[in-house]
Each structure stands twice: as C-alpha cells, then as structure tokens.
Structure 1
Amino acid sequence: MNKIITCVSIEGKKFFRSKVPLLTMLALTIVPFVGGFFMFVLKDPSLAQNLGFISAKANIMGTADWPSYFGLLAQAVAIGGLVVFGFITSWIFGREYSDRTIKDLLALPISRNIIVFSKFIVAVLWCLMLSIIVLVLGLIVGKVVDIPGWSFDIMIQGTFIFMVCSILTILLSTPVAFFASVGRGYLSPLGFMVFTIVLAQFIAVTGYGQFFPWSIPALLSGAAGGDSAMIEGISIIIVLLTSAFGLVGTIFWWRYADQS
C-alpha cells in the first residue's frame, strides 16, 4: 500500500509539473462559457443581434432552459472528453517512451503493475476533477445568465447524466493507454482517438451506437438527436468490458512486452 501511494505521488508530481493540466483545464472549462453564450442568445435573439453577437441572417434554433443547458454540458464532456481525457492518458503513458525514461522506470524495485495502476489513478483523478470543475462552473454561468426553468429535480437529473457521461468517457481512456504503450509514444494513441471518434459518429448514424462503446456516452447525453432512453444495461456492460480490456492489456504489455 505504501508503494502505490508513493508511486501515485511521484506520478502526480511529474504530471502537475507539466503543462498538460493547464492545457486540459483550459480546453474543457471553455465549455460552460460557450454554453452560457448560446443560452443568452436563445433567451433573446433580438437583443443578441442588436449587440452584434449574431448576424441578422443567423438561424437560431433550440430553447433556453436548464434541461437544454445540462444536455449541452453532457454532450461536450461526452464528445470533447474523448479527446481531452484521451490526451491526458496518452501523455501519462507515452511520455515515458518519448522522454526515454522507460528503462529507468522499469529498473526500479517496484512492481510494474503498481506503476501502471499509479498512472491510471492519476489520470482518473484529474479527469474527474476536470469534470467537476466544468459542472460547478456551468452551474455558476447558468445562474449568471439567468437561464429559465430551474428546479432542484432538473439539477439532480442533469448532474446525474453529466457525471455518468463523464465516468463512461473516462473509462474509455484505458485503451488509449494500451496504444500509447504499444506505440511507444503519442502518435499511436492520438491516431486511435481520431479513428474511434470518427467511427463513433458513423455507427451512431446507422442506429447501432448503443453497441459501440465510444458512441454510448454521446448517445446518453442526447448528442446529435440521440435518445438516452435507448441506452440499456448492455451498453454500460460494453463500456465496462472495453475499459477492462484496455486496463488488462496495458498491464500485460508492461509486464511481458520487450522493453529494450
């Protein structure tokens, strides 16, 4: 237990001394402000037009209310999180190869399993923290914009869907760690992320998104007209199995692959 705490501390220091936490925070915290801007425009399109925020020819569609706002936040974390959370994971695992510190790391008298788990713990904790920051900031921005339709029940439901989408998206980051390890750097996991995002959009359009893990968080959030009611237990199981395969695959790679 002491070893894993020490490893998590070391991995955390390496991570927070880089620019990745700042960049990823900036990338996600812009979401509430963009969502608040859309809600402001939808509340009074004529006022926004007079202030010069939108053109006279702009076609504004949608409603300005809290359910729509929570849905927008959930969609952003479900789709944008695939990129941001995946980037975090690819950096934590891929940097050891890019910086050529992998040999020194594996020479330490510490189990490779502990090293892998420590990296995953740091990645998950920071991704969860980013999700919470986005949610809290979103609530503040929503109150400032004075979005109509607020109620405690809507907040509970919107927060629940947002956090479920966040957790599912974070779980889908484990295969990224596997490709970062196999590819020994950043390019393979980044290519994998682009491929899964494009494929997720295509499969969702065909109507089978509830069976493709990278489409499930977006469908749950209601992105692209998706119905969250179509997400059933089998979809959650698929995400969990995908995450488990990524975790186990990464552990086995670090334990048995040739690291020379």
Structure 2
Amino acid sequence: MRKSKMFILTLIVFSGIAITMGLMILVTRNPELAGNSAMVSAKASMFKDDWSSYFGLLTMIVLTLGTIGFGTIAGWIFGREYSDRVVQDLLALPVHRFTIVLSKFITFVAWSILLSLILFIIGVFTGLAVNIAHWSVGLAYHYFIIFMVTSFFTMLLCTPTALVASYARGYIAPIAFTIGTLIVTQIMFVGIPNITAYFPWAIPALYSGVSGAGGATPDLVSFIILFSTILLGFIGTVAWWRFADQT
C-alpha cells in the first residue's frame, strides 16, 4: 500500500472530487462561470448552497463513486498477484493463507477508511473556503457519523468483490462486478423500490437517508442480509485462497 502508485492515485482522485464540489458551489452562485456549457450548469444546479444539502451530496458521492473506488481497490489488492503472475511466490512464503487474506482485508479497510476521511475532511474545508451557509459543528458531527457508517457499510460490501477477484485471478472482473452491482442498485431504486431494503448493496443508501423520505427503511432483516453478504464474501475468499488449486 505504501509503495504502490495506486495508493497515490486514489488519494488524488478522492481529494479532487471534494475540491470539485466546492467549485460547483461557486458555479451555482455565479452561473456566468459556466459560460455556454449546459452540462456544467446542469451539474451545478444539483448543489444547493447550504451545509445539509452539501453533506448529503458528500454521502451520495461515497455511495456511488466511492463504491467504484473501494471495489477497484479490493480488486487490485486481491487480484494483483494473479495478474503479475507472482501468486505462487506469495503462497510459497512461510505464512498461513488465512493470514495473507486477513492482512489483505485489513489493508483494504485501512485504505478505504483513509480515503473516506480525506473525502469528508477536504470536502468540509472546501465548503468553508467557499463560505457555504448555515455551518455548525453539531450539524457537521451528525453528518460525519452518517457518512462514516455509510462508508463502512459500503467498503465491507466489497468482500464479494475480493472473492470475484480471487476466482477470476485478476482485477478486471471485480471492477466489472462492482459497476454491475451499482447499476442494478440504481435500477432497483427506480423500478422496484419496495425490495431495496433486502438488496445488500442498496442498504447503505437507505441507512444514510439520501434515497429520500419516500424510500424504504432498513429493518433487522435488512441488516442481517447486509452482514450475511459481507461474511459470506469473507468466508468465500478465505476458502478460495486455502483450498482452490493455485497452480
């Protein structure tokens, strides 16, 4: 993680996303900055000039772009040795395979938490820099808890992505899997919202409240499904590394 270019790249991307949100606030206040770009004007119109809406958009970003980012990281961590054809060298080390998998998951969670914190903190400083209205420490703390719990649920749902990366022996398939789950989740919110509370990848959005007042509410069954999916992905990844033919 420390030595990889991927780590630096993800830091830059997540920082850039947070800074871009502040720029969009400026465009919202000063439409002439968008010039003749209808696309930029349309995107800027999504950004309301108050902290509640701003924090809601930060949470929405971690649910969408964050999902792709976390999935890409999980696929890279678990699929890189296969793509580089050095997995046999890794498995030849005098280290238990469960330890290898657990270390990869710990690295993934630490990496993802750091990116989430960077997105939120730089987002807050950017909002302060452009002087968004109605700032309060209590409001920021409230949304910080929601943001981090949502991020945590989202990143833990990448355990099936790790299994896909291990099974496919690379990091292209897990990226496709991540994008696929994101697309299916969006379709379910539009087409069949009544069952979103029981679709694992939709539950973080329902918890965060960004789906709106009319959205389904996650219940005990929802969280059982969520954590069962996370656990099955973890167990499946461990089992694959322990028992699959790696030759």
Q: Same fold (TM over 0.5)?
A: yes
Q: Distance in 2 between matches of 1:61 and 1:169?
A: 23
Q: Which residue type is aligned with residue 133 of structure 1?
A: I
Q: 1:76 to 1:100 in 2, by over 3 A?
A: same
Say which of 44, 64, 68 aligns to 2:53. Answer: 68
Say whether 1:39 aligns with 2:39.
no
Aligned to 2:64: 79
Say which of 225, 228, 235 aligns to 1:248. Answer: 235
Equivalences for residues 114-193 of structure 1 within 5 A: 114-193=99-178
User: Secondary structure, in 3 states, of the residue corresponding to 2:201?
Assistant: coil
Say whether 1:204 aligns with 2:186.
no
Q: Which residue type is aligned with residue 219 of structure 1?
A: L
Equivalences for residues 17-28 of structure 1 within 5 A: 17-28=3-14
Say whether 1:213 aligns with 2:210.
no
Is the 1:49–1:55 Cα contact (8 Å) retained in structure 2? no
Q: Distance in 2 between matches of 1:204 and 1:229?
A: 10
Q: Distance in 1 between matches of 2:67 and 2:83?
A: 22
User: Secondary structure, in 3 states, of the residue corresponding to 1:146?
Assistant: coil
Q: Distance in 1 between matches of 2:181 and 2:213?
A: 18
Q: Distance in 2 between matches of 1:185 and 1:56?
A: 39
Matched residues, percent identical? Answer: 41
Aligned to 1:49: 31
Q: Distance in 2 between matches of 1:229 and 1:190?
A: 28
Q: 1:55 to 1:49 in 2, by over 3 A?
A: farther
Unpaired runs of at least 5, structure 2:
none
Aligned to 2:93: 108
Q: Distance in 1 between matches of 2:145 and 2:227?
A: 18
Residue 217 of structure 1: CA displacement? 2.1
Say whether 1:89 aligns with 2:77.
no
User: RMSD between aligned alpha carbons?
Assistant: 2.0
Q: Distance in 2 between matches of 1:167 and 1:154?
A: 20
Is the 1:172–1:243 Cα contact (8 Å) retained in structure 2? yes
Residue 39 of structure 1: CA displacement? 2.6
Residue 233 of structure 1: CA displacement? 3.5
Q: 1:56 to 1:32 in 2, by over 3 A?
A: closer
Q: Distance in 1 between matches of 2:126 and 2:214?
A: 26
Q: 1:228 to 1:35 in 2, by over 3 A?
A: farther
Aligned to 1:237: 224
Q: 1:36 to 1:229 in 2, by over 3 A?
A: farther
Q: 1:117 to 1:191 in 2, by over 3 A?
A: same
Q: 1:32 to 1:61 in 2, by over 3 A?
A: closer
Q: Distance in 1 between matches of 2:77 and 2:100?
A: 11
